[in-house]
Amino acid sequence: MEFTVQAPAKLNRFLAVLGRRADGFHELELVTTVLEGVLDLTDTLEGEPASALSLAISGPTGAGLVADASNLVIKAWRLLEEAAKRPLPAHLHLEKRIPHGAGLGGGSSDAAAALRLGNRMFDLGLGEDKLLGLAARLGSDVPLFLLGGTVLGLGRGERVFPLRPVPLEPILLVHPGLHLSTPSVYRALQDVGYPFPEALASQPGGAAPPWRNDLTGAALWVCPPLAEVRDALRDSGGEPLLCGSGSCWAARYASVQARDMAAEQLSGHSGWGVWHV
């Protein structure tokens, strides 16, 4: 097709929950890296002008994902039409590789990709501030994908600021084949108790932010079998970190060699997906 935009996954290397707000959302401090260049964890959105709007979905994780008005790509397109004050008829094709309900932000990344694609395809000339505003209406995670790189997220995560790049350690991502709903994990914070973060993302002297996710207890409460992947990553010598609201885990290793040995060991587990970052 004529126009193509990549939609990578993300890794929240720091997620502090600061409290619950009156609107039901949680006040967060996040450091997120967009995993640009990890091709088997990147969706692709292509488009060409047509007589009406349509979306086709294919790819390894495309099955079971509906292409109707509930899809974040269509929701993003409708917001663009609202901003452009005219229909933007196009045929879109989404190649899905990011697992859903995995905490890797696939749907949010697709939404950001749709905003960029439509803006470019129809020469709408919407600036970054306008696109960030539309992104925030689509979901808390969408704006960070417009910035790319390593991003500080404040508020419910939608107020984004570029950070200097944090070099990624040798990392493995493991998907246990489970699906976790983000709202149910945030709700479970009430059952497990709210964490009271003392360390925030801004580190003195340019140090990398800590490897931390305050949603871990809540996600394990909602889905106890998640612990199996965490324990396997620990046994393989890694330092596990839950991805967003789950179900994927990331683990960092002391060396590329240690990471690659662990990958070989964990790939043998049936039903788990394993990626190098």
Ligand X SMILES: C[C@](O)(CO)[C@H](O)COP(=O)(O)OP(=O)(O)OC[C@H]1O[C@@H](n2ccc(N)nc2=O)[C@H](O)[C@@H]1O
Using CB under 6 A as the binding rule, whether residue 217 contacts ligand ATP is answered as no
Alpha-carbon distance 237 to 107, whole Å?
A: 31
Buried b (16+ CB within 10 A) or exposed e, 238-274: bebbbbbbbbbbbbbbeeeebbeebbeebeeeeebbb
Cβ 1 to ligand X, closest distance in Å? 27
Cβ proximity of 32 and 13 under 8 Å = yes
Residue whose CB is less far from ligand X, 222 or 263: 222
- The pair of structure tokens assigned to 74 is 């269509």
Task: Pick the binder of ligand ATP from 33, 44, 71, 213 (CB under 6 A).
Answer: 71
Cβ proximity of 107 and 139 under 8 Å = yes
Known catalytic residue at 231: no
Residue whose CB is less far from ligand ATP, 181 or 255: 181
Strand partners, 275: 173
- Placement of tokens 């788990």 in the chain: 272
Contacts of residue 53, Cβ cutoff 8 Å, sequence gap at least 6: 74, 77, 87, 88, 89, 90, 92
Phi, psi of 178 (to 5 degrees): -105, 155
Instruction: Calculate ∠ Cα 210-203-156, nearest 5°.
Output: 70
Using CB under 6 A as the binding rule, whether residue 143 contacts ligand ATP is answered as no
The answer to whether 99 is a known ligand-binding residue is: yes
Known catalytic residue at 141: yes
Cβ 15 to ligand X, closest distance in Å? 6
209 binds, among ligand ATP, ligand X, none (CB under 5 to 8 A by kind): none
From the list 10, 43, 110, 214, the catalytic residue is 10
Residue 111's closest CA among 63, 143, 149?
143
The answer to whether 107 is a known ligand-binding residue is: yes
Task: Pick the binder of ligand ATP from 8, 47, 107, 273 (CB under 6 A).
Answer: 107
Contacts of residue 67, Cβ cutoff 8 Å, sequence gap at least 6: 54, 55, 56, 57, 74, 94
Residue whose CB is less far from ligand ATP, 182 or 236: 182
Task: Pick the binder of ligand ATP from 150, 213, 236, 245 (CB under 6 A).
Answer: 245
100 binds, among ligand X, ligand ATP, none (CB under 5 to 8 A by kind): ligand ATP
Cβ 133 to ligand X, closest distance in Å? 14
25 binds, among ligand X, ligand ATP, none (CB under 5 to 8 A by kind): ligand X
User: Interface with ligand X by CB under 6 A: which residues?
Assistant: 12, 15, 25-26, 28, 30, 105, 108, 139-141, 156-157, 182-183, 186, 244-245
Cβ proximity of 193 and 272 under 8 Å = no
Residues that bind ligand ATP (CB under 6 A): 65, 71-73, 100-108, 110, 141, 182, 244-245
Binding residues: 99-109
Binding residues for ATP: 99-109
Q: Give catalytic residues, as residue numbers.
A: 10, 141
